[in-house]
């Protein structure tokens, strides 16, 4: 199963780095995920979303306005599961992450795949409100957001010299999240291959019929 870890912060000196390194190392050890890839939005300089039906072209093989947008949609489509690592900006997710999610447009690449969430903050809030927003966004993209999360306050000060959180509960939380993600990933992959989900243009189709 292919796991894509999507990183929500791109700014120089970001606190994301120790979190991503730890999450990636633990995920790579998990037997459920043969292929773990970090999708760092620093490396994916996506344009601000501005697609419309003209830029999409053929709906079955959308072209989009720029090749990187097409590549991003294809890369997301190749994933079986997603793990978002994000800080909280103004009680939500960073705009760059929302833009990356919006850019997966009309390709259905997130559809019926599980999403797990790891959040962190410099202070005590641990990014809780960002995850609350992200879970709602995930529903709209037709991902399956998971209930169990990893919340890391006081990053990077809460990481030891070994590059791992000093709080043992953080390790327990990540193990639980990966266990849930593995279960949902296998279940949903099987469901996607055995019974295609109903199309999501049903309301439009019904309206067109009058
Ligand atoms: C634009 C901005 C908005 C922020 N808003 C919040 C917030 O709403 N809640 C919070 O707990 N921390 C907030 N913070 C503090 C972040 O938790 C802290 O800066 C963290 O290091 C951000 O992650 P990053 O360094 O990986 O970008 C904010 C930081 C920035 C730069």
Is the CB of residue 169 less than 8 Å from the CB of residue 83? no
Rounded Cα–Cα distance for residues 108 and 141 (Å): 8
Per-residue pLDDT of the chain (210 residues; tens, 9 = 90+): 999 999 999 999 999 999 999 999 999 999 999 999 999 999 999 999 999 999 998 888 899 999 999 999 999 999 999 999 999 999 999 999 999 999 999 999 999 999 999 999 999 999 999 999 999 999 999 999 999 999 999 999 999 999 999 999 999 999 999 999 999 999 999 999 998 788 777 887 888 888
Domains of the chain, each with CATH number or no CATH: 2-209 (3.40.50.360)
Q: Which residue's CA is the closest to the ligand 1 atom numbered 8?
A: 90
Strand partners, 82: 4, 115
Predicted confidence at residue 29, as pLDDT, reads: 97
- Ligand 1 atom with minimal separation from the 156 CA: 21
- Phi/psi at 208 (nearest 5 deg)? -65, -35
- Ligand 1 atom with minimal separation from the 92 CA: 8
The pTM of the full predicted model, rounded to 2 decimals, is 0.96
Question: In terms of C-beta density within 10 A (0-12 exposed, 13-18 middle, 19 or more buried), how is residue 177 classed?
Answer: buried
* Whether residue 7 has its Cβ less than 6 Å from ligand 1: no
* Whether residue 133 has its Cβ less than 6 Å from ligand 1: no
* Whether residue 87 has its Cβ less than 6 Å from ligand 1: yes
* Whether residue 79 has its Cβ less than 6 Å from ligand 1: no
Predicted confidence at residue 199, as pLDDT, reads: 79
Rounded Cα–Cα distance for residues 154 and 143 (Å): 29
Predicted confidence at residue 189, as pLDDT, reads: 97
Rounded Cα–Cα distance for residues 102 and 15 (Å): 24
- Ligand 1 atom with minimal separation from the 91 CA: 8
- Ligand 1 atom with minimal separation from the 123 CA: 11
* Whether residue 42 has its Cβ less than 6 Å from ligand 1: no
């Amino acid at each position: 199963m292919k796991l894509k870890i999507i990183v929500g912060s791109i700014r120089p000196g970001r606190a994301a780095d120790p979190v991503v390194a730890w999450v990636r190392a633990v995920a790579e050890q998990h037997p459920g995920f043969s292929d773990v890839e970090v999708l760092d939005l620093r490396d994916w300089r996506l344009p601000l979303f501005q697609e419309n039906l003209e830029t999409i072209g053929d709906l079955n093989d959308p072209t989009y306005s720029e090749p990187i947008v097409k590549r991003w949609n294809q890369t997301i489509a190749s994933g079986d599961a997603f793990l978002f690592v994000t800080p909280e900006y103004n009680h939500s997710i960073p705009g760059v992450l929302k833009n990356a999610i919006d850019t997966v447009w009309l390709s259905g690449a997130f559809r019926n795949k599980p999403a797990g969430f790891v959040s962190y903050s410099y202070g005590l809030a641990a990014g809780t409100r960002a995850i609350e927003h992200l879970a709602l966004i995930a529903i709209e993209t037709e991902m399956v957001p998971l209930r169990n999360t990893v919340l890391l306050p006081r990053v990077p000060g809460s990481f030891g010299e070994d590059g791992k959180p000093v709080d043992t509960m953080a390790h327990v939380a990540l193990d639980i999240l990966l266990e849930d993600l593995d279960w949902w990933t296998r279940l949903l992959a099987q469901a996607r291959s055995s019974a295609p989900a109903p199309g999501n243009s049903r309301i439009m189709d019904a309206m067109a019929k009058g």
